[in-house]
Chains A and B, each alone.
Chain A
Amino acid sequence: MSGVLPVATHLALLLLVPPLLLGVIGKTKAWVAGRRGPPVWQTYADIDKLLRKGAVYGRPTTWVFRSGPVVGLASTVVAGLIVPLGAGAGPLSFSGDVVAFAALLGLGRFFTMAAALDTASSFEGMGASREAAFGALTEPAFFLALAIVCLPAGTATFAAAWAALPWTVWNPAIPVQLIAAVVLGIVLLAENARIPIDDPATHLELTMVHEVMVLDHSGPDLAFIVYGGAVKLFVMAALLVHLLVPVPADGGWWGAVALVAGVLGVAVLVGLVEATSARLRLARVPGFLIGAAGLAAVGVAVLVARGRP
């Protein structure tokens, strides 16, 4: 990718759009429930408010606690530079970037969990422990879904994989592609702590996963966490959109418009799932995630059994 304009477009999309997704999810849930709900711009206002606030730190905490939100947001943003956003390739696209993308998200999770353990609070330890358990089980599902996407291109590279997707109607590869989309959707819900894996709106610490893990963060630290969560949701939604909607490799502005429309559509879907379903019991979540990995494994098996894709 050459030129300043595509990079600027990518950065603008990556940094400005994400908070809107949380607003759209909230609005969708409110609409289904017959409420008016907060405005779609609410998250921008929340982040702005948190950035201007001071912070309170727990007495046992050290620099590890303070580094958690910084590393979490930084790794998510760098991961966001890898994926294509409405164009052929991300600015940081390279051969094998799929693996780096997943590892960067893992780095953010590592530091968020370490920060939680730094508080010496049993609640945050509980959240980190659950996050570790669900995170470990999400990884195989994520990589198997990525394998489905990458096998036709023959390389673990987002740009090449999207370019090799079969967009002809009635292509026999389409069902497998749908399997990948379903599994990626489940991974999106798990990675972003949404229903049915986790409930971001719960008010009881004992039932939380992600929320309780970041309970002690305040002020700019919490702003980084909220914003980082939005960027992560946006990036994962972008993966899903590229899998389901043919975004032209060199579509100019249309690519960006199609991407934003698609990503907002994913947000509406997430809102609908949250409004119409309950979260799973904690003990049932591992089975759900292992099932997703199994589904993706079936997709991979179909691809291999059909011979070279």
Chain B
Amino acid sequence: MMGPRSTWLSGKRLHLQHGPIDLIIGAEAAHPDAFSAAQGRFASILEELVSELALLRRPVGVDTRFEGAVAARMGAAVRGLDGVFVTPMAAVAGAVAEEVLAAMQAAAPLRRAYVNNGGDIALHLSPNCTPRPGFEVAIAGPQGHRLGVVSVDAETKVRGLATSGLGGRSLSMGIADSVTVLARSAAAADVAATLIANDVDLPRHPAISRAPANALQPDSDLGARAVVTAVGELSRGDIRRALDRGQRRAQAFHRAGLIEAAALFLRGAHRMVGHLPMTAPGSGRVEHA
């Protein structure tokens, strides 16, 4: 069995990997202690999660309590989301990124840092610095092409960013190519992106193939719920209706203060919710919805 691996990439980036978790960590002019702290915290994270995995794969109840710090972050991110099926696993990537970033923040002063867990990213931006630090994050579509670039700066409340959709590792109940969410934490962004992407959908549409999640991934937290396996031809009306559904979910999350902004992409069309400073390639600034 493979243990956690730690590798330096070019540009002073640290790659931490254990099982399904891949983190890329960058910190600007950071003290080495920050990276040591990331390595130290990462060493046991997967084992901690696995010890509570059965519990994490079920919807949280009123009395559900978690032992591990990451599990607690996951639980908190899904608690209070009523009327929708969701388990703490929807927040796992964001919660891991957040936890590792928190360990770095505690170890050394940071100006600008990120922990990228396969597209779910926890950001550190120090508000007290001049010039005010920011990030430009490129969002890639399912085929690796660039959908746009999101600018995040320290003035905003955004400290987490997550992308969900059909292209990723996780199974999706929807047909979105990509849903990117900006939120105050990576775990919150992760959950919201998953749920908004699930709602970009056309129930019972003949061009959409589905299968029970546990037929594809026997351990899936989604159980026998139908997940999308293929999407055929869609009309412009289909695309509009699917995006409308997802947008309604995103707007509800935005009103509830769960997210700061979201961008939904499907077959070349997109919707924006909240204030999203995004530049699409070749088309200048994308207008807000």
Whether chain B is bound by chain A comes out as no
Residues of A within 8 A of B (CB): none
Residues of B within 8 A of A (CB): none
